[in-house]
Chain A
Amino acid sequence: MKTNCTHQKECLQLIQRILDKEATAEEEARFLANKDQCLPCQEGYALELSLKKAIKDKCSVSCPSDLFTRIKTKLFLVLILISILIPLFC
């Protein structure tokens, strides 16, 4: 097992592209084959994966229900007004 990766910068970029689903199948296969032999790549992969997962799972908030209601009401009023006004000008 390698404890020092000589292509760390390139590997980090590739790891991020893989996790972002932007890498090609060949790139992904090549990296995964190499990963088992390289400790920094394993750790880098685990860190990028945990960070991406933490952002997705822990950083979401819901739209406040009163905001949603306010927007729907405002749009509904606009649509009603437009429905009334359009026949007057056509």
Chain B
Amino acid sequence: MDIPVVDSKISPERAHAIFQQEFFPHMDAMYNFALKLTNDEDEAQDLVQDTCMKAYRFIHSFEPGTYAKAWLFRILKNNFINDYRKKSRGPSKVEFEWVEQSITGDEDSEPAFQADLQAETVNEMLGDEITAAIQALPVDFRMIIILCDLEEFSYEEMARILNIPIGTVRSRLHRARALLKVALSNYAKTKGYV
């Protein structure tokens, strides 16, 4: 077993207490995020486990009382980008770029379309169907939808987690939702919801 190098100023007892009080309450959210990013249960489990080990390794940089969930999500996201993204089953970077160009052309532009979708149709859809539509999105769009709509982070927190300007958070979120609505609208038509 690799023993993480850790700041000796944090005692093992203190580290244990921080995990119990601050980190473990967010395990469901972390697993949810990891699963949506990797699209694979085994990889999601590995990603969450690696994230916890990294959280322990860097626990000296966590300030108790600050937002532990955002701190953990940032580690998880970096871990995913550095170690898991290449092997994830999600769309490739090439597909992502193609979709980005097909929507607008640059980060600050508006989506070029509106989906033909009604609230009632969304209400009738099952969770698995909506999850499948989210997981079909390019990973950067998937990530921002989960952070905002599932985990309810603020734009400022998302900007910190994703390390992007807040204006990019707004435009990326807007376009992610536009893409999701188009995907759900197409799905609804094929399944006879509309």
Contact = CB atoms under 8 A, between A and B. Distances in A.
B44 to A, nearest CB: 9
A86 interface: yes
Interface string A52-88: 1011111111111001101110111111111101100
Interface in B29-54: 30-32, 35-36, 45, 48-49, 52-53
Nearest to A58: B127
A76 B6 CA distance: 14
Contact of A55 (B4, B30, B48, B145): B145
Chain B interface SS verdict (over half): helix
Interface residues of A, number: 46
A22 B56 contact: no
A67 B34 CA distance: 13
Nearest to B45: A67
Interface in A29-53: 43, 46-52
Interface in B139-165: 145, 148-150, 152, 154-155
